[in-house]
Chain A
């Protein structure tokens, strides 16, 4: 127990503590501008006054951890769900996180389907291999922020507004790691095993199902983790040009116009927590699946 504590908790805790110390220290000079502006010309400001002011402003340059935590606590409310007129939801972080999460998951799902289909085409067709891969790579050199409004404009006349275009924009980022990982994975099967399947005169489909697909999984899972994080970025960016009112990205934009830095940071923190939860829950799924498939997991030794 003690060993576990010192091995896994201690290093993390040390880093977090260091960051917090630096954060509070940096807030003093960064927020002091406003302190001096607000004070009367001839006022003498002592150091303790300076500290207490810079750590408690309403619109600080750099909000402090305790302010952000207080804001998150205040806004992370479910009460809009059962309030009669549903008025509260506009400020609820839970609501906006949910909106962003839904387009993240849609974008991730679409990206997974598109990515896997493309890599199948690339691996099984020489023509596709030569023609598709360069486009896939080119697609990622165009900034998402330039593509996003075009996707919205193109999809609107088809009656696709709201969730769908946001999902598509998110997919634009999330399919890429999948294509790369899955293509590499499908090509990673052991040549001896390929020969082995051939000697049993297995069909192409049997070889795919029994050999190529399982060989690809160790490449697909990490790709899916990256893709999940990319889908979240895409979902947040998708909310910026769409005129959306809901979602973490939309709220971020609104608060930045009003220079409401504390809610901005609260939104950022929510996005980070969401990303962390997504990746961690996916990691658990991966481990369970690996065990189910009998893949050797790290830490196990042969007996």
Chain B
């Protein structure tokens, strides 16, 4: 079943900025799709259209078979923004609990979930801190924890690890892979890092700018079970080279 489909999707912002032009894409259930491309090529905009935060000016988008608005109303996706987006007057726990409370979740379930996602992003013990008491990277992890706790079938992540150091990033990549494998979630993941895209995805969407469009969709032949060492394998390097070349062509 297709979780996200876009047909002839275009979006022109007021002031005649064409952020997306004729984007065709189909994401199947359980896929992990990375979006990569130069700054300003419309990656965030595409995710926002899927999330019903922007309305397309042309073409059609379906999310879990519904219109983006219907999907949003049914809380079909969790969204991790490019910036942490935590409420400053709530503790980390309070922030993670907020969407759960909006869903009318039971208190015990909430407490359990909060504890487990905090452990997952290695923030256990920081639940009672306020966002301003955390470093930028820790705030971003709290924001990821919140999206994980929300536990939707579709996860939209806009450069979630951009603000993190290499080591934490590797660990979180690993955990995200684990999570994806065990829960069979569908993930749309924006990144600027070629290794990250190749390591995580089943499919890599390379985008090119002005106007933003899909340059190439590259299928990743790596098996789902990926230890960190896979990055030295020849298959891995071959995919990475293909992504790099496509990106370079897109710039001309």
Which secondary structure dominates where chain B touches chain A?
loop
Which residues of A have CB within 8 Å of B3?
none
Q: Is the CB of A192 within 8 A of B89?
A: no
Majority SS of interface residues in chain A?
helix
Q: Chain A: how many interface residues by the 8 Å CB criterion?
A: 20
Least CB distance, B48 to chain A, in whole angstroms: 8
- Counting CB contacts under 8 A, is A302 at the interface? yes
The reply on A193 being an interface residue by CB < 8 A is yes
Count B interface residues, CB 8 Å: 27
Which chain A positions have C-beta within 8 A of B73?
201
Smallest beta-carbon distance A42→chain B, Å: 78
Asked if B89 and A199 make an inter-chain contact with CB atoms under 8 angstroms apart, the answer reads no
Chain B residues within 8 Å of A190, by CB: 85
Please give, as numbers and ranges, the residues of chain A lying within 8 Å of B132 by CB-CB distance. Answer: 296, 302
Contact assessment for A195 and B102 in the assembled complex, using a CB-CB cutoff below 8 Å: no
Is the pair A214, B75 in contact by a Cβ cutoff of 8 Å? no
Whose C-beta in chain B lies nearest to the C-beta of A217? B89
Assess the B85–A192 pair: CB atoms within 8 A.
Answer: yes
Determine which of B51, B85, B91 lies in contact with A294 in the assembled complex, contact meaning CB atoms within 8 Å.
B91
B77 contacts A199, CB within 8 Å?
A: yes
A192 / chain B contacts, CB cutoff of 8 Å: 81, 83, 85
Q: Which residue of A lies closest to B135 (CB)?
A: A302
- New A-B contacts (8) at CB < 8 Å, excluding given A195-B53, A196-B79, A199-B77: A193-B87, A196-B85, A198-B72, A200-B99, A201-B73, A206-B102, A210-B87, A294-B90
Interface residues of A (CB under 8 A from B): 190, 192-193, 195-196, 198-202, 206, 210-211, 214, 293-296, 302-303
Q: List 29 A-B contacts (CB under 8 A).
A: A192-B85, A193-B87, A195-B81, A195-B85, A196-B79, A199-B77, A199-B78, A200-B75, A200-B99, A200-B103, A201-B74, A201-B102, A202-B102, A206-B102, A210-B98, A211-B87, A214-B87, A293-B89, A294-B88, A294-B90, A294-B91, A294-B130, A295-B88, A296-B88, A296-B132, A302-B132, A302-B133, A302-B134, A303-B133
